[in-house]
Protein backbone atom coordinates (compact mmCIF):
# COMPACT_ATOMS: atom_id res chain seq x y z
CA UNK A 1 0.00 0.00 0.00
CA UNK A 2 2.83 2.36 0.81
CA UNK A 3 4.38 1.66 -2.58
CA UNK A 4 1.13 2.38 -4.35
CA UNK A 5 0.65 5.63 -2.52
CA UNK A 6 4.20 6.71 -3.27
CA UNK A 7 3.57 5.91 -6.92
CA UNK A 8 0.36 7.85 -6.92
CA UNK A 9 2.08 10.79 -5.24
CA UNK A 10 4.85 10.73 -7.84
CA UNK A 11 2.25 10.74 -10.61
CA UNK A 12 0.51 13.63 -8.95
CA UNK A 13 3.75 15.58 -8.68
CA UNK A 14 4.50 14.87 -12.32
CA UNK A 15 1.00 16.04 -13.19
CA UNK A 16 1.51 19.18 -11.14
CA UNK A 17 4.79 19.90 -12.89
CA UNK A 18 3.03 19.75 -16.22
CA UNK A 19 0.04 21.66 -14.94
CA UNK A 20 0.93 24.95 -16.60
CA UNK A 21 -0.34 23.32 -19.77
CA UNK A 22 -3.64 22.23 -18.37
CA UNK A 23 -4.36 23.64 -14.89
CA UNK A 24 -7.56 21.64 -14.45
CA UNK A 25 -5.51 18.46 -14.47
CA UNK A 26 -3.86 19.45 -11.19
CA UNK A 27 -6.80 18.65 -8.99
CA UNK A 28 -7.96 15.63 -10.92
CA UNK A 29 -5.16 13.18 -10.05
CA UNK A 30 -5.64 13.87 -6.34
CA UNK A 31 -9.05 12.21 -6.29
CA UNK A 32 -7.95 8.64 -7.13
CA UNK A 33 -5.44 8.55 -4.27
CA UNK A 34 -7.88 7.85 -1.43
CA UNK A 35 -10.09 5.89 -3.81
CA UNK A 36 -7.28 3.51 -4.79
CA UNK A 37 -8.08 0.05 -3.41
CA UNK A 38 -5.65 -0.53 -0.58
CA UNK A 39 -4.90 -4.25 -0.35
CA UNK A 40 -2.80 -4.01 2.79
CA UNK A 41 0.35 -5.90 2.00
CA UNK A 42 1.64 -8.40 4.48
CA UNK A 43 4.48 -10.86 4.22
CA UNK A 44 2.46 -13.62 5.78
CA UNK A 45 -1.03 -13.77 4.39
CA UNK A 46 -3.58 -11.50 2.77
CA UNK A 47 -7.27 -11.97 2.31
CA UNK A 48 -8.78 -11.31 -1.08
CA UNK A 49 -12.37 -10.57 -0.09
CA UNK A 50 -14.65 -9.79 2.86
CA UNK A 51 -15.80 -12.91 4.66
CA UNK A 52 -19.08 -13.49 6.44
CA UNK A 53 -21.31 -16.26 7.70
CA UNK A 54 -21.73 -18.97 5.09
CA UNK A 55 -18.25 -18.57 3.60
CA UNK A 56 -15.82 -21.46 3.64
CA UNK A 57 -12.33 -22.39 2.61
CA UNK A 58 -8.76 -21.57 3.40
CA UNK A 59 -9.35 -17.84 3.82
CA UNK A 60 -11.88 -18.63 6.54
CA UNK A 61 -9.49 -21.07 8.15
CA UNK A 62 -6.77 -18.44 8.25
CA UNK A 63 -9.20 -15.98 9.77
CA UNK A 64 -10.24 -18.52 12.41
CA UNK A 65 -6.63 -18.94 13.49
CA UNK A 66 -6.37 -15.18 14.11
CA UNK A 67 -9.59 -14.97 16.11
CA UNK A 68 -9.15 -18.27 17.97
CA UNK A 69 -8.76 -16.32 21.19
CA UNK A 70 -12.29 -14.92 20.98
CA UNK A 71 -14.67 -17.87 21.42
CA UNK A 72 -16.23 -16.39 24.55
CA UNK A 73 -16.03 -17.72 28.08
CA UNK A 74 -15.42 -21.45 28.14
CA UNK A 75 -15.75 -21.68 24.38
CA UNK A 76 -13.52 -23.11 21.70
CA UNK A 77 -13.48 -22.01 18.09
CA UNK A 78 -13.21 -24.81 15.53
CA UNK A 79 -10.46 -24.13 12.99
CA UNK A 80 -12.42 -25.87 10.25
CA UNK A 81 -12.67 -23.37 7.43
CA UNK A 82 -16.42 -22.99 7.86
CA UNK A 83 -17.72 -19.52 8.75
CA UNK A 84 -20.56 -20.43 11.07
CA UNK A 85 -22.14 -18.66 14.01
CA UNK A 86 -19.13 -19.40 16.20
CA UNK A 87 -16.77 -17.70 13.78
CA UNK A 88 -19.17 -14.78 13.34
CA UNK A 89 -19.30 -14.27 17.12
CA UNK A 90 -15.53 -14.64 17.48
CA UNK A 91 -14.98 -12.03 14.77
CA UNK A 92 -17.46 -9.73 16.52
CA UNK A 93 -15.62 -10.13 19.84
CA UNK A 94 -12.31 -9.43 18.11
CA UNK A 95 -13.81 -6.32 16.52
CA UNK A 96 -15.22 -5.15 19.82
CA UNK A 97 -11.86 -5.70 21.53
CA UNK A 98 -10.22 -3.37 19.04
CA UNK A 99 -12.94 -0.74 18.85
CA UNK A 100 -14.19 -1.75 15.41
CA UNK A 101 -17.81 -2.03 14.38
CA UNK A 102 -18.76 -5.43 15.81
CA UNK A 103 -20.82 -6.83 12.95
CA UNK A 104 -19.19 -10.26 12.78
CA UNK A 105 -18.22 -9.68 9.15
CA UNK A 106 -14.51 -9.72 8.38
CA UNK A 107 -13.97 -6.82 6.02
CA UNK A 108 -11.27 -4.28 5.32
CA UNK A 109 -10.97 -2.81 8.82
CA UNK A 110 -10.85 -6.24 10.46
CA UNK A 111 -8.17 -7.47 8.07
CA UNK A 112 -6.23 -4.23 8.53
CA UNK A 113 -6.19 -4.80 12.28
CA UNK A 114 -5.04 -8.38 11.80
CA UNK A 115 -2.23 -7.24 9.47
CA UNK A 116 -1.19 -4.80 12.16
CA UNK A 117 -1.12 -7.61 14.70
CA UNK A 118 0.81 -10.20 12.75
CA UNK A 119 4.44 -10.72 11.85
CA UNK A 120 5.67 -11.91 8.49
CA UNK A 121 5.79 -15.50 9.77
CA UNK A 122 2.07 -15.30 10.69
CA UNK A 123 2.72 -15.26 14.42
CA UNK A 124 1.12 -12.46 16.41
CA UNK A 125 3.44 -9.50 16.96
CA UNK A 126 3.91 -10.11 20.65
CA UNK A 127 4.72 -13.82 20.54
CA UNK A 128 7.34 -15.82 18.67
CA UNK A 129 7.77 -19.40 17.60
CA UNK A 130 11.13 -19.42 19.39
CA UNK A 131 9.61 -18.75 22.80
CA UNK A 132 6.84 -21.30 22.38
CA UNK A 133 9.36 -23.95 21.38
CA UNK A 134 12.53 -23.92 23.41
CA UNK A 135 12.91 -27.67 22.90
CA UNK A 136 14.15 -27.87 19.32
CA UNK A 137 14.03 -25.84 16.14
CA UNK A 138 12.26 -28.22 13.77
CA UNK A 139 9.18 -29.14 15.82
CA UNK A 140 9.96 -32.85 15.45
CA UNK A 141 9.64 -35.67 17.93
CA UNK A 142 6.26 -34.86 19.45
CA UNK A 143 3.04 -36.82 19.20
CA UNK A 144 1.98 -35.15 15.96
CA UNK A 145 3.84 -34.20 12.81
CA UNK A 146 6.16 -31.22 12.95
CA UNK A 147 3.78 -29.24 10.72
CA UNK A 148 0.84 -29.96 12.97
CA UNK A 149 2.76 -29.13 16.13
CA UNK A 150 3.83 -25.81 14.64
CA UNK A 151 0.34 -24.92 13.45
CA UNK A 152 -1.08 -25.82 16.87
CA UNK A 153 1.49 -23.48 18.38
CA UNK A 154 0.40 -20.72 16.04
CA UNK A 155 -3.20 -21.00 17.25
CA UNK A 156 -1.97 -20.99 20.83
CA UNK A 157 -0.02 -17.78 20.23
CA UNK A 158 -3.09 -16.06 18.77
CA UNK A 159 -5.05 -17.08 21.87
CA UNK A 160 -2.29 -15.59 23.99
CA UNK A 161 -2.37 -12.42 21.90
CA UNK A 162 -6.10 -12.08 22.62
CA UNK A 163 -5.47 -12.68 26.30
CA UNK A 164 -2.64 -10.15 26.36
CA UNK A 165 -4.83 -7.49 24.78
CA UNK A 166 -7.67 -8.19 27.21
CA UNK A 167 -5.24 -7.68 30.09
CA UNK A 168 -4.08 -4.25 29.01
CA UNK A 169 -1.38 -5.27 26.51
CA UNK A 170 1.27 -5.90 29.15
CA UNK A 171 3.81 -8.56 28.10
CA UNK A 172 2.94 -12.16 28.91
CA UNK A 173 5.90 -14.28 29.93
CA UNK A 174 6.04 -17.58 28.01
CA UNK A 175 8.47 -20.08 29.50
CA UNK A 176 7.94 -22.83 26.97
CA UNK A 177 5.47 -24.67 24.82
CA UNK A 178 6.12 -27.49 22.38
CA UNK A 179 8.10 -30.47 23.64
CA UNK A 180 9.39 -33.54 21.84
CA UNK A 181 9.02 -36.79 23.75
CA UNK A 182 12.66 -36.44 24.76
CA UNK A 183 12.21 -32.89 26.04
CA UNK A 184 9.00 -33.88 27.81
CA UNK A 185 10.67 -36.82 29.54
CA UNK A 186 13.59 -34.68 30.63
CA UNK A 187 11.32 -32.25 32.46
CA UNK A 188 9.12 -35.01 33.87
CA UNK A 189 6.07 -34.00 31.83
CA UNK A 190 2.91 -36.09 31.81
CA UNK A 191 3.15 -38.89 29.20
CA UNK A 192 0.29 -37.45 27.15
CA UNK A 193 1.01 -33.80 27.86
CA UNK A 194 -0.44 -31.25 25.45
CA UNK A 195 3.09 -29.93 25.13
CA UNK A 196 3.75 -32.96 22.89
CA UNK A 197 1.10 -31.63 20.50
CA UNK A 198 2.42 -28.09 20.41
CA UNK A 199 -0.73 -26.49 21.73
CA UNK A 200 0.35 -25.81 25.30
CA UNK A 201 2.21 -22.91 26.85
CA UNK A 202 3.61 -22.44 30.33
CA UNK A 203 3.31 -18.89 31.59
CA UNK A 204 5.37 -17.06 34.16
CA UNK A 205 3.76 -14.70 36.65
CA UNK A 206 4.75 -11.59 34.72
CA UNK A 207 3.12 -8.37 35.85
CA UNK A 208 -0.31 -9.99 35.78
CA UNK A 209 0.25 -12.72 38.40
CA UNK A 210 -0.64 -16.39 38.09
CA UNK A 211 -4.26 -16.15 39.18
CA UNK A 212 -5.15 -13.27 36.87
CA UNK A 213 -3.61 -15.19 33.97
CA UNK A 214 -5.45 -18.41 34.82
CA UNK A 215 -8.73 -16.58 35.24
CA UNK A 216 -8.38 -14.62 32.03
CA UNK A 217 -7.42 -17.75 30.06
CA UNK A 218 -10.98 -19.02 30.50
CA UNK A 219 -12.18 -16.38 28.02
CA UNK A 220 -9.69 -17.17 25.29
CA UNK A 221 -10.21 -20.71 24.09
CA UNK A 222 -8.01 -22.74 26.40
CA UNK A 223 -9.32 -26.21 27.25
CA UNK A 224 -6.63 -26.93 29.82
CA UNK A 225 -5.83 -24.34 32.45
CA UNK A 226 -3.71 -25.56 35.34
CA UNK A 227 -2.33 -23.20 37.94
CA UNK A 228 -1.68 -22.57 41.63
CA UNK A 229 -3.11 -25.27 43.85
CA UNK A 230 -2.95 -27.92 41.12
CA UNK A 231 -0.06 -30.33 41.75
CA UNK A 232 3.18 -29.07 40.22
CA UNK A 233 1.68 -25.78 39.05
CA UNK A 234 2.38 -23.35 41.85
CA UNK A 235 5.19 -21.76 39.85
CA UNK A 236 3.52 -21.39 36.47
CA UNK A 237 0.20 -21.41 34.69
CA UNK A 238 -0.26 -24.05 32.00
CA UNK A 239 -2.69 -23.18 29.21
CA UNK A 240 -3.46 -25.58 26.38
CA UNK A 241 -5.95 -27.02 23.96
CA UNK A 242 -7.42 -30.44 24.64
CA UNK A 243 -10.37 -31.41 26.76
CA UNK A 244 -11.75 -29.07 29.38
CA UNK A 245 -9.65 -29.37 32.50
CA UNK A 246 -9.52 -26.21 34.51
CA UNK A 247 -7.85 -26.46 37.87
CA UNK A 248 -6.20 -23.72 39.83
CA UNK A 249 -7.83 -24.13 43.23
CA UNK A 250 -5.83 -21.33 44.85
CA UNK A 251 -7.30 -18.99 42.23
CA UNK A 252 -10.89 -20.15 42.63
CA UNK A 253 -10.75 -22.24 39.47
ZN1 LIG B 1 2.54 -27.08 30.84
Q: Are residues 31 and 87 in the same domain?
A: no
Greater confidence, 18 or 120? 120
What's the pLDDT score for residue 11? 36
Residues that are catalytic: 233
- The DSSP element (H or E) to which 116 belongs, if any, is helix 108-117
**27: confidence class by pLDDT, cuts 50, 70, 90:** very low
Say which residue, 43 or 110, is predicted with more confidence: 110
Ligand 1 center from residue 50 Cα (angstroms): 37
Q: Mean pLDDT in the chain?
A: 88
Together in a domain, 134 and 245: yes
User: Looking at the predicted structure, is the pLDDT value of residue 137 above 90?
Assistant: yes
> Domain check: are 164 and 188 in the same one?
yes
What pLDDT, on a 0 to 100 scale, did the predictor assign at position 41? 52
Distance 202 CA to ligand 1 centre (A): 5
Q: In this structure, are residues 223 and 244 in contact, taking their beta carbons and an 8 Å threshold?
A: yes
User: What is the C-alpha to C-alpha distance for residues 122 and 120, in angstroms, rounded to an integer?
Assistant: 5
- Whole-model pTM? 0.84
The answer on pLDDT for 202 being more than 50 is yes
150 with 170, same domain: the answer is yes
How far, in Å, CA of 119 to CA of 42, rounded? 8
**What average pLDDT does this structure show over 205-218?**
98
Q: What is the pLDDT of residues 82-123, one digit of tens each?
A: 999 999 999 999 999 999 999 999 999 999 999 999 999 999
Same domain for 188 and 75? no
CA 244–ligand 1 middle distance (angstroms): 15
Any idea what the CATH number is for the domain that residue 73 is in? 1.10.101.10
Task: Select from 70, 93, 122 the last residue of a domain.
Answer: 122
Expressed as residue numbers, the domain containing 22 is 1-38
Q: Can you tell me the mean pLDDT for 15-27?
A: 39
d(C-alpha 167, C-alpha 143), whole Å: 32
Residues 104, 152, single domain; the answer is no
Q: In this structure, are 245 and 145 located in the same domain? A: yes
> CA-to-CA distance for 158 and 64, rounded, in angstroms?
10
Q: Which among 75, 99, 122 is the end of a domain?
A: 122
State the CATH number of the domain containing residue 247: 3.30.1380.10
Indicate the helix (H) or strand (E) that contains 195: none
Least confident of 40-54, 145-159, 217-231: 40-54
How far is ligand 1, taken at its centre, from the CA of residue 180, in Å?
13
The answer on 176 and 138 residing in a single domain is yes
Distance 34 CA to ligand 1 centre (A): 49
Number of domains in the chain: 3
Kindly give the distance from the C-alpha atom of residue 177 to the centroid of ligand 1, in angstroms, as a whole number: 7
Residues 55, 136 within the same domain: no
Instruction: Decide the pairing of beta strands 245-247 and 224-226.
Output: parallel
Same domain, 56 and 109: yes
- Boundary (domain end) residue, out of 122, 154, 173: 122
Opening angle at CA 156, ends 152 and 161, nearest 5? 145
Q: Which range is least confidently modeled, 42-46, 77-81, 176-180?
A: 42-46
Amino acid sequence: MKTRLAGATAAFVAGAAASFVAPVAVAAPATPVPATPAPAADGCYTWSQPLSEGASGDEVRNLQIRVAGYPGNGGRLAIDGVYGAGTRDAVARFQEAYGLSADGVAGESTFAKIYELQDDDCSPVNFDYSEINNCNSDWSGGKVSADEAKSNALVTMWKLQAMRHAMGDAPIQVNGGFRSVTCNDSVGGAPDSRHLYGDAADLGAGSQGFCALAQQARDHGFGEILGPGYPGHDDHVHVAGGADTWSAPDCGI
